[in-house]
Amino acid sequence: MMDYSKLSLIEIRDLISSQKVKSEEIIRFFIEKCEKKREFNAIIEIFYDSIEKAKEIDKKIASGEKVGILAGVPIAIKDNILYKGHRCSCASKFLESFVAPYSSTVVKKLLKEDAIILGRTNMDEFAMGGSCENSCYGVCHNAVKFDCVAGGSSGGSAVAVAAGLVPCAIGTDTGGSIRQPASFNGVVGIKPTYGRVSRFGIVAFASSLDQASPIAKTIEDCELVLKVIAGRDEHDGTTIDGCNEKTTKTRFTLGVCKQVKADLASTKYSDKFLQTLQALSKDFDIVEIDIPHIENSLSCYYILAPAEVASNLARFDGVKYTKRADKSIDLEGVYVQSRTEGFGKEVKRRIMLGNFVLSSGYFDAYYNKAKKVQRLIKQEFKKAFESCDCIILPTTLGEAFKIGEKLDDPLSMYKEDLFTVPANIAGIPAISLPYAKGEKGLPLGIQFMADALKEDVLFEVSKRFEKLHKEER
Ligand code: GLN
């Protein structure tokens, strides 16, 4: 049998639609891969009904029936995305046995194009974390170096793609959860403009910042899958139209943020970044831009996101949804005991932080202030995009770290999000592309951000970067 794990999603799709290979063969191949590589702990459940689904697609293709643009292709979903009749636990003990009563819009759109959902991927509990160590299923391992973290929270999705267990996996990104693990495992991950993809049926922890999107091996795969899942949805009032057509622009200006450059100066990767800029100056115009409050994005995020956690997770009370502590004696005991047993350490930390910043007396000083700073940051980005098409910056401060290294140091874990969080705070699209190896030989990602609704520009700039970068190497 051919090794399909090296192929992109589009290549697999073309093999199936041209009837060179049956979808059933592809699905069985990837299932076997997932079974053999369980040690990564990237796929926490294989959906074996995918084989039957593949047979149905094969039948449709053989009879000449019209099929969708993802016909027969396997895609994995993060464990916080509902797929009717399948378990969805957000990697939390609270929801361990929860079965989705309906499908999320994202899944419905994938199924409408005849994609096959192969399984669910590991993640940090309720998507809080940057390493995929906060999971009730145990830690997910880096695809390149086993004793290093996968990154998070969509670590399982990134590792599944990088280790060839599936050609594409959907993740969610609230503060960097798609881009950071994509960077740590050497794959491509995009976070679209806020509202581009419906959040209906996705268990969000910070609804005002969160977006679902693909992680894949190539930019083109991400572009195709994003196009499928994007668009207005009557179930999510924040949604906007689907993606724009390809940009007609031919020359692009890249902005280098003064403040990011300064941050980077103290790291080992500063020289590499400057070299990259130098190489890019052949094909792009490069300008310096100023986003004075970009660094406040992180503190802003760690006030706003926990505030939303406190409110969004309040419904997990032990009365509805799976988990209920057996030994509770009264109603309050049900609430307290179920939450004590059901939630992990990081989730509890965020709930406490969130309740604090929302409490009377502190609301103005923290939550409202953070909202004001968010507005300021948005305006600064808007202004920056008057002089450039995309902002270029690293995805992370460095390579994947060792498993366990940051577990007792939440602040240093939060700092991981320094370069990714600004895009969520500003609501703009951003992509991480593999571009170099760090001193430990592990992948490093480069990030591009574009103005809101300009995914077309983001993809075009990414493709040019990739082309140039390949020639460089
Ligand atoms: N690491 C960030 C956090 O823990 C990002 C999480 C996310 O994007 N879901 O909040």
> Along the 473 residues of the chain, how does pLDDT read in single tens digits?
789 999 999 999 999 999 999 999 999 999 999 999 999 999 999 999 999 999 999 999 999 999 999 999 999 999 999 999 999 999 999 999 999 999 999 999 999 999 999 999 999 999 999 999 999 999 999 999 999 999 999 999 999 999 999 999 999 999 999 999 999 999 999 999 999 999 999 998 899 999 999 999 999 999 999 999 999 999 999 999 888 888 889 999 999 999 999 888 888 888 889 999 999 998 999 999 999 999 999 999 999 999 999 999 999 988 887 778 877 678 888 999 999 999 999 999 999 999 999 998 999 999 999 999 999 999 999 999 999 999 999 999 999 999 999 999 999 999 999 999 999 999 999 999 999 999 899 999 999 999 999 999 999 999 999 998 876 65
Ligand 1 centre from 305 Cα, in Å?
A: 9
SS3 state at 444: strand
Residue 155 near ligand 1, beta carbon < 6 Å? no
Ligand 1 centre from 5 Cα, in Å?
A: 28
pLDDT at 324: 81
Residue 142 near ligand 1, beta carbon < 6 Å? no
The neighbouring-strand residues paired with 394 are 446
Residue 174 near ligand 1, beta carbon < 6 Å? yes
| Phi, psi (rounded to 5 degrees) for 249 | -65, 145
Alpha-carbon separation of residue 9 from 17, 49, 362, 470 (angstroms) = 12, 20, 49, 21
pLDDT at 244: 82
CB atoms within 10 A of CB 466: 17
Choose the catalytic residue: 22, 37, 78, 406.
Answer: 78
Ligand 1 centre from 176 Cα, in Å?
A: 6
SS3 state at 222: helix
Nearest to 440 by CA among 215, 268, 276, 270: 268
pLDDT at 472: 62
pLDDT at 473: 57
pLDDT at 463: 97
Nearest to 257 by CA among 457, 430, 438: 430
Contact of 202 with 80, CB cutoff 8 Å = yes
Ligand 1 centre from 417 Cα, in Å?
A: 7
Is 153 part of the annotated catalytic residue set? Answer: yes
Given ligand 1 and candidates 79, 128, 415, which is best to mutate, with the most ligand atoms within 8 Å of its CB?
128
Choose the catalytic residue: 50, 131, 135, 153.
Answer: 153
Residue type, 126: F
Residue 401, both tokens:
């770290």
SS3 state at 172: strand
**CA 256 and chain centroid, separation:** 24
Is 177 part of the annotated catalytic residue set? Answer: yes
Is 5 part of the annotated catalytic residue set? Answer: no
Residue 17 near ligand 1, beta carbon < 6 Å? no
Residue 171 near ligand 1, beta carbon < 6 Å? no
Choose the catalytic residue: 50, 104, 177, 183.
Answer: 177
Given ligand 1 and candidates 80, 92, 153, 199, which is best to mutate, with the most ligand atoms within 8 Å of its CB?
153
Give the start-end residues of each E strand in 235-382. 253-257, 285-289
Task: Give the whole-angstrom CA distance, residue 89 versus residue 411.
Answer: 26
Alpha-carbon separation of residue 245 from 103, 232, 248, 284, 459 (angstroms) = 28, 16, 9, 22, 11
Ligand 1, residue 205: give the atom nearest the CA: 9
Ligand 1, residue 129: give the atom nearest the CA: 4
Helix locations, 178-295, DSSP H: 179-185, 219-229, 258-265, 270-280
